[in-house]
Amino acid sequence: MNETLQGLYEVIKGRQENPQEGSYTCYLFEKGLDKILKKCGEECSEMIIAAKNMDNDELKNEISDLVYHVLVLMAQQNLSLEEVEEVLEQRRQKIGNLKQFHVSDHNT
């Protein structure tokens, strides 16, 4: 497990369990799922724009913002980093086996 992600997730869970005045993370938890989802969507859009603009300095910041908000979403939904890591590990082991990936029709 990446120590940075694990550490950030632990800080987020700590804010969830012990709210602190003036904390942005606590504000998100207070506002609830809809606000957290809205922020995830906004950050994803900003990441796409940064990538399209070929601005890697901005892109790394937007990716970091998105990862942070996804970690907040995970905490809100009581989803551990280990659970996501298990899925990622399963997918890592499937690399090169195209027939096992889900195919979706992007034209509909």
- For 54-94, how does the pLDDT look when each residue is reduced to its tens digit (9 = 90+)? 999 999 999 999 999 999 999 999 999 999 999 999 988 88
Residue 104 within any structural domain of the chain: no
Q: What is the pTM of this model?
A: 0.84
The domain of 39 spans 3-93
CATH of the domain at 41: 1.10.287.1080
Residue 108 within any structural domain of the chain: no
Q: How many domains does the chain have?
A: 1
Is the pLDDT reported for residue 45 higher than 70?
yes
b/e string for 55-84 if b means 16 or more Cβ within 10 A?
A: eeeebeebbebbebbbbbbbbbeeeebeee
Residue 2: the pLDDT is 84
* Contact between 72 and 31 (Cβ < 8 Å): no
Residue 32 within any structural domain of the chain: yes
Residue 70 within any structural domain of the chain: yes
Residue 62: the pLDDT is 97
Residue 37 within any structural domain of the chain: yes
Residue 99 within any structural domain of the chain: no
pLDDT in tens, 94-108: 876 665 555 566 665
Residue 8 within any structural domain of the chain: yes
DSSP structure string for 37-94: HHHHHHHHHHHHHHHHTT-HHHHHHHHHHHHHHHHHHHHHTT--HHHHHHHHHHHHHT
Residue 12 within any structural domain of the chain: yes
Mean pLDDT of 24-49: 97
Residue 94: the pLDDT is 82
Distance in angstroms (rounded) separating the CA atoms of residues 51 and 30 = 31
